[in-house]
Amino acid sequence: MLDGVIFTWRDLPDVLVTEHRLDRHLFTPNEQSDRQYRFLHEQSPRLIPVWLDGQLKIAFWGSSEPPLPRQGTARHESVERGVWGNLRPIETVVPCPFAIAGGRTYQTKEGIKCLIVRDRQKRPHAYVLSEPSSPYYFTMTRRDRMPVFVAEEFGKA
């Protein structure tokens, strides 16, 4: 559904970069372009920047410990049915300018929606909301689920 998100170096405050040692996420596409921070779902530890408590924070993307779900995604339909209710999730945003799916990097207008769930140590874990892919998104990425975008884009299934 989503392999990763990308932020430009301007998007992330220095304090956040230092605190979470985000240098290992640095990537330079080419000499002329801005440096980027890439947060991939396959990386370990899986991290993702999210808007939380009015500022940008780093959350774990999914979880490696039960009882929280391992995969970093949440089906929008399951949230609607109340399946996530007992985890007391709050909805927020991953304000990434770019995202990666199926090996394609694409632009997002205002980022993607996600749920934040706290573990026993009160640490935030992020679950990107997903919905069935629109025909456009499916053609572009070959993925049958797409993130729920903040702004209306790529159409609906």
Q: Which stretches of the chain bind other proteins, using CB under 8 A? A: 8, 10, 29-30, 32-34, 97-98, 103-107, 134-140, 152-157
Residue 68 falls in which region: left (phi positive, over 0), alpha (psi -120 to 50) or beta: beta
Indicate the residue among 34 and 65 with the shorter CB distance to other proteins.
Answer: 34
Phi then psi for 154, rounded to 5 degrees? 65, 0
Quote the least distance from Cβ 132 to other proteins, whole Å.
10
Q: What is the dihedral of CA 72, 73, 78, 82, to 10 degrees?
A: 40
Cis peptide preceding 45, ω within 30 of 0: yes
Distance CA(116)–CA(45), nearest Å, equals 17
Indicate the residue among 36 and 63 with the shorter CB distance to other proteins.
Answer: 36
Residue 41: DSSP 8-state: T
Quote the least distance from Cβ 143 to other proteins, whole Å.
12
Indicate the residue among 60 and 137 with the shorter CB distance to other proteins.
Answer: 137
Indicate the residue among 60 and 154 with the shorter CB distance to other proteins.
Answer: 154
Quote the least distance from Cβ 80 to other proteins, whole Å.
18
Distance CA(7)–CA(34), nearest Å, equals 10
Quote the least distance from Cβ 4 to other proteins, whole Å.
12
Quote the least distance from Cβ 59 to other proteins, whole Å.
22
Indicate the residue among 110 and 119 with the shorter CB distance to other proteins.
Answer: 110
Residue count of the chain: 157
Distance CA(138)–CA(134), nearest Å, equals 6
